[in-house]
Every structure is written in C-alpha cells, then in structure tokens.
Structure 1
Amino acid sequence: MSRRSRGVTRSPVRDLLALTQRPEVISFAGGLPAPELFDLAGWRTAFDGALAGDAGRRSLQYAPTEGDAALRAAVAERMTRRGLPTDEAELLVTTGSQQALSLVAAALLDPGAVVAVEEPTYLAALQAFQAAGARVVAVPSDAEGIDPAALADVLERERPALLYLVPTFANPTGRTLGAERRRAIAELTAAHRVWVVEDDPYGELRYRGDAVPPLAASGAEHVLYLGSFSKIGAPGLRLGWLRAPESVRSTLVVAKQAADLHTSTIDQAAAAAYLATADLDAHVRYLCAAYRARRDALIEALADAVPAGAEVSDPDGGMFVWLRLPGNVDTERLLPAALERDVAFVPGAPFYAGPPDRATMRLSFTTHTADEIAEGVRRLAPVLNAE
C-alpha cells in the first residue's frame, strides 16, 4: 500500500452502519436523513421528466465536467436568495460534497502541506486531507465554535495552506459560528493568505434563530464554499457543488476530470427538473418541523438519562447532539455494551485531529421518531451511568 493510503484512518461511522442494520437496533450513530421524509413522488416525477423525449437521451450521455447548466443556474439562484450572491459560472457540480473536499485537496495541497481544522471536526474531511498527504493541525474551539485567538496562533506558528470549517451546525458538535467570529476568521485568513473551505451541508436545517451569513458572503476571494443535496434532497443522489473563486476554478475542473470526468448526467438532469417543478422551500420547512421535534425529544430524554456533570449540547439546527460524560470515561469502551442493548452511538475520539477527548460522543437525532428516540435513550441510560 502507498504511504498516503496507510495514513488514512477508517471511518467508524461507516463501519457502524454495517453493525446497525438489524431492524431492532436504534442507531444514533449515522448522520442519516429520515428516509420516510424523502420526497419520493417529487423525485419520481423529476426523473420521469429528465428521461422524457430527446432530452432523455441527452440525460444518458456524457456531459461537461462543470455540470448541467440548468442545475448550476438553479443552484446559483437558490444560493443568491439565501444570502450568498452566486453566478452559475462560479459553480462546479460534484459527486456529493465529499468529492468537493477531495478535489480541493488535490488542487490546493502538496504532500506535507498543513491543514488547520476546528477541534473536533468532520472525520471524513480528516480522511480527505490524510489521503492528500497533508499534516492536519487542530485549532481549539469552545461552545461558540473555533476560537479566533487560537486560530491566529496556529496561523503564525504552522503557516497552514488551508483552513477547513463547518461553521453552521457543525459535525459533530452542532455548534454555529457567530457573525462576529466569522468576520474575524475571514480577516485573519485573508491577512495570512490562507484558503478557507466552508463546508455547509446542514445550513438549511435551522430550527430556531436567524440565519448567519456564510463566510463566503463577505466577498472574500480566498473562501471556497461547499453545498449538498444530501440533507435536503436525498443522499443517494450523491449531488453536491463547489463555489470557487476564478483563480482556482480551472484547476478544480481539471482535478474533477481526472477523478470521474463528470457527475452522473441523469441525476443532475433530475435535480434540475426537481428544482424547476417542486417546492423545495416547502419541503425544507417540512424537514425542519420533523427534525425539530426529534431534536427536542433527544434532549428531553437525555436530561433524565445522563449522569450528573454530563454536558449535552442544544443545537439550533443540523443533525447532531454532542455529549460529554463526566470524569475520565472512554466512550469507545462503552460502545460494545450499547450494541448489546441494541442501541448505537459514535464515540467522539475519531473526530479529533489532536489528542482526543475520549469522554465525548455524537448522537444523531434525525433518523428515528420521537418515540424511538425515547426508547433508544432508555436503552442507553444504563451504559452512560455504568462508570
């Protein structure tokens, strides 16, 4: 095996999916949208439209690397309405936003380059940067997200090429970076000539409070923005997009050509048809109402289940609650006992680039109903209180 491949850690979330397929298991492990909430009828209509007539034959053909023009125009219009002025020429359609991370790593990182990340952070981003041969450096964070003062220290000491952030309803913590910190981070990274990758798969899943403008909305030419249909549409489509400044866009296109030529033509055509015919805003409101109730059910159940001194996050949106148990507990050691009780979670350690806080765990609330969540926490409670 190559040195790069040996340096990439396995994803415990993906591994746990195989262990939690039994119907009796209540899994808080995967960050999965609720399948019963998918707009199955709307997507069936969209695929029918994408395959109708002569257009249907084009939907089965090779396509431009940059992506379907109608889809890019629709995404640009939607992003502009959400406060991030965007032209379709700025967008590259990707095979999920996970591919966008790999493309950015291929285009911007040499082996040995330094990548700064909020601690803790999205573990598949850590995999993408490890696969590129980068050295990942953690930046401390608090309840409000990444600490600008700590970032300033890392920028001076480590000279990173890139900063990776999930600033809105972060995975795994659910934290949202406030507007003031976003401005400070944009200014700091601009001054140090550091690329910023703003990963925003959860931003539309807001359950309370006002939206915070993306970092990319500041007009900064060093911020790359990643979006996705996985959380508001369907993850099986594997459709995402990358909004990039002109200075790096052509390099990213070449990286994508080398990776897969282009994203699935038929899926792009169906997504364009869906955005033209369905009311995605109404569907997002429907998702938010359902997920809000599930978040509340999880937090309410945990209040009576966790030991004294435990810390439970209360996110404004997204898909995750972050739990820290008191003392020197290692949640990875608790997982086998939880699985024996037919309930699952993700231990927190894999989300850390530096020394991990092993007393942490991530719980996803989107996949199960409120009653199933209550039962899952009932099963989990003895495990959380075992030490």
Structure 2
Amino acid sequence: MTVADAPVPELASRARDVGGSPVRDILAVTARPEVINFAGGLPAPELFDADGIAAAFRAVLAETPERALQYSTTEGEPSLRAALAERFAVRGLATVADDLLVTTGSQQGLSLLATALVEPGDTVLVEDPCYLAALQAFAFAGARVVPVPCDGAGIDPDALDALVVRHRPKLLYTVPTFQNPTGRTLPAERRAAIARIAGRRGLWIVEDDPYGELRFEGERVPWVATYPGAEDRTVLLGSFSKVMAPGLRLGWLRGPAALVRACVVAKQAADLHTPTVNQLAAARYLADCDLDAHVARVGGVYRERRDAMLAGLGEVLPSGARWGRPEGGMFVWVTLPSGWDAGALLPSVIAHDVAYVPGAPFFAGAPDVGTLRLCFVTQAVDEIGEGLRRLGAGLKDLRRSPRP
C-alpha cells in the first residue's frame, strides 16, 4: 500500500455515535412553502421588531463603527452585560455584570457547561422527555444521561432525590418554565424541593429559560436559582432568540464566578467571543426600545394561536388522545392512544402538507412512541386551522400502527 492509498484517521467516537437533530431533519424535509409546519420551534417572523432592531444596528455602526466591527472581550460587551444584569435584578434575582457570560445563543451555553463540568462517564440527570439539543450536548461530552421521572407538573422531587443518591450525578438539567417539548411549568413547591435536594446532596442545576417571558396567563414562578439551597449551584441560561430574534444568536449564562470563568476559557477555545456588533445592537435596542412591551404584544398574538390550536385538536386527533394546556411558551405536547406510533405516521401526514415532531427522540430512556410535539406560534390562526384540518385528514387515512 502506498502512502496515497492509506486511509484517513477515523472520526472521533463522539462524532460517530451522536446523531443529528430529528427536528432539523424534519425541517429540511418540510421546507416546501406549501407545508404547514408545526414541527419547528420558530418564532413568528412577522412579529419581529425589524424596524427597532435595524435602527439599533444603524446607530452603533454610525456612532461607534470602530468598536462595533472590532474584536470584543470573551465575557461580552459591558453595556449588554449591565443591561442583562438589570433585567435579572428587576425580576428578583440580584445580579451584576460579572455574573454573566454572553454566549452565541443559549445553545452555546449548554455546550460550554458540558465542556466545563462533565467528564466522560459522569452522570447527568435530565427531565423525561427532554430538550433534544441538550441531549446532544451531553452526549458529545461523554455523559451518561439518566432521565428523571416526570408527571404533568414536571420533575418528581422524590424520584430525583433517589436518583441522586443512587447515581451521584454531576448535574441536573431542567427547562422548568414552558418546557420543551411538553409545555409544562414546574410549580413553585417543586422548584423549592429541587433546590433543597441540590443543596443537601451536592448537585449542580442547569436551569434553561428560553421561554419564560412568553407567559400568556397565570402567575410567574420564580427561577429555581432564587430558592434556598440553589443560589451557589445553579447556572441560569437565557436567550433573546424567542423574544427579540433568533438570527442575532445572542444568549447568556449566569452562574457562580468559578464556573463562569471556566466557561469563559471554554468559549475562548470555541469562538473567542460572540459577535460584537450584535451585542452592541442588542444593548442599544434595550436602551432605546421597550422590549417588555414588545414581548407583551407578541404574547398576545401567541395566546390567540395557542387557543386556536387547543380548540381544534379535539376534532382531528383520534379518540383517547390527550394533550396539555401550556400557560405560555411555544408547544403543545400530545399523547396518542395506545397502539399509535407518531413516528411511523409522520410520512403519511407530511404527504398531506403538514408536519409535527414525533416525541420519541426527546426521551433519554425508553421512548413513548405515541407522543408528538406541535408548535403553535409560527402560523397565523387561519393557517393553524388549515394545518389541523390536514393533520386530521392524514390521520384518518391511516390505520393504527402497533407499537414495537
């Protein structure tokens, strides 16, 4: 064999073993404009404050182009970190700029935490079901991912405590408010119980909060990070993706100083810093515009869309199907009757030019193949009605598919 014939080295095992995102795969398949897509978690683009964001970019490029187009510090632009700290403080969590690291979307925050906290073989606890990209991030880090039993209200604290004793995990990952994929919100008493467990047993909590500001009804529940026992061991992730615009790729990580510093070093190795001009434009937007008023307007529209979806589900889903009623966020979680397989049904449903995400990939343990996730925010009310009509037609064309 000549040198030219020698094979190239194999990919790292993590690159071979960790699969892609089924959501992204479905979005690629359903990119045709005629498809009504309930699969993606995409904010409604017509509701972006494009004028306000454009004005913010124009201002920073006109007034400080030499700064906006230059390298920045890894921690993030001071003006944006200060504005974020103020927003935390107003909502009851005392925060200073040094508590924060600006990330390229909150997904990068997850990746940085996995790098900084997780050794190969460490146990990570997650909700069951769990946000897909979190499962990917922890799998890439070589973690052993163990699901925590949940009910309609979220994590079962007693089950969590037993798993912590049994597995001695490094961290618990949770989306406690309008969870992805289920839309459920963890009640205050369970948040307090989780905080006590973390403090008593020695456990990091990664609290992911991309949807918390999208509340349509009910009272806001404080972050887990505010409860006794959790203060010095909770990392709180947030993002502008769902409330300003996902294309900005702006998120943040709030946590104890030593962990934030470790994530800064990991970020230096990943991308040096989040784009300067995007950070400055976001800070300018927060200074010149009323983001809370914008979010309230968006929330009003999203509530109408949620109501339209909830009102129509009973007419199109098979008898015996169950679904939740989220108080905010973006998703409705559906459980089909016994004998139905949402993944097996999907190709035939897509043939009717409508799509959803099967629930099975969201489970770290044994999947429930009869579940699916519907996003209600991307389409207008009339499109939701038509999408549900198509979904119903697709389901009526199919016979029951036995569970494997």
TM bucket (normalised to shorter chain) is: over 0.9
**Residues 84-115 of structure 1, C-alpha deviations (whole Å, 9 max, x = no match):** 22111100000000000000000000011110
1:71 equivalenced with 2:80 (yes/no): yes
Question: Which residue pairs with 2:368 in the alignment?
Answer: 357
> Aligned equivalents of 1:85 and 1:371: distance in 2?
43
State yes or no: 1:151 paired with 2:160.
yes
Shift of 1:83: 2.2
Distance, in Å, in 2 between the alignment partners of 1:344 and 1:288 is 23
Q: Check the 8 A contact 2:352/2:393 in 1, yes or no.
A: no
**Which residue in 1 is equivalent to 2:183?**
174
Alpha-carbon offset, residue 247 of structure 1: 2.8
Pick the structure with greater CA Rg: 2
Q: 1:129 aligns with which of 132, 138, 152?
A: 138
> Mind listing any 5+ residue stretches in structure 2 that lack a counterpart?
1-10
The one of 380, 394, 402 equivalent to 1:383 is: 394
Q: 1:325 matched to which residue of 2? A: 336
Alpha-carbon separation, structure 2, partners of 1:333 and 1:169: 27
Match for 1:215 among 217, 221, 224?
Answer: 224
Query: 1:115-162: CA deviations, max 9, x gaps?
Result: 000100100000000011111000010000011011011101111101
Counterpart residue type for residue 21 of structure 2: S
Cα distance in 1 for partners of 2:357, 2:317 equals 16
Pair 1:44 & 2:28 matched: no
Deviation string for 1:32-86 (max 9, x for gaps)? 0000000000000000011013x12111000000000000001111121122221
- Residue 12 of structure 1, aligned match among 17, 22, 42: 22
Q: Provide the C-alpha distance between the structure 1 equivalents of 2:137 and 2:48, rounded to a whole number of angstroms.
A: 28
Alignment match of 2:288 (pick from 277, 280, 290): 277
CA contact 1:173–1:320 (8 Å) conserved in 2: yes
2:316 partner SS: coil
- Mapped to 2, the partners of 1:36 and 1:21 lie a distance apart of 18
Contact 1:103 1:255 in 2 (8 A): yes
Percent identity, please: 59
Match of 2:38 among 28, 40, 57: 28
Question: 2-side partners of 1:384 and 1:285: how far apart?
Answer: 36
Q: Distance in 2 between matches of 1:348 and 1:237?
A: 28
Give, in whole Å, the separation in 1 of the partners of 2:61 and 2:274. Answer: 17
- Which amino acid in structure 1 is aligned with residue 61 of structure 2? L
- Give me the whole-angstrom Cα distance separating, in 1, the residues matched to 2:337 and 2:93: 41
CA contact (8 A) 2:36 2:353 kept: yes
Q: 1:292-315: per-residue Cα shift (whole Å, max 9, x none)? A: 000000010102111111101110
- CA offset digits 1:238-284 (Å, max 9, x no partner): 00000011131211110111111000001001001100001101100
Contact 1:61 1:265 in 2 (8 A): yes
- State the secondary structure of the residue aligned to 1:171: coil
Runs of 4+ residues over 4 Å off in structure 1: none
Instruction: Give the secondary structure class of the aligned counterpart of 1:226.
Output: strand
- Of 380, 399, 403 in structure 2, the residue corresponding to residue 369 of structure 1 is 380
1:178-210: CA deviations, max 9, x gaps?
Answer: 000000001101111111000000000001000
Q: How far apart, CA to CA, are the structure 2 residues paired with 1:150 and 1:42?
A: 47
Paired with 1:341 and 1:384, the residues of 2 have a C-alpha distance of: 10
2:277 alignment counterpart = 266
Gaps of at least 5 residues in structure 1 are none
How much does 1:340 deviate? 0.4
CA distance in 1, matches of 2:177, 2:88: 15
- Which among 185, 188, 192 is matched to residue 197 of structure 2? 188
Q: State the Cα RMSD in Å.
A: 0.9
2:208 to 194, 199, 218: 199
* TM-score normalised over the length of structure 1: 0.98
1:7 shift after superposition: 2.4
Are positions 1:119 and 2:128 aligned together? yes
Q: How does 1:291-310 map to 2 (within 5 A)?
A: 291-310=302-321
Q: Among residues 150, 168, 187, which one is paired with 1:141 in the alignment? A: 150
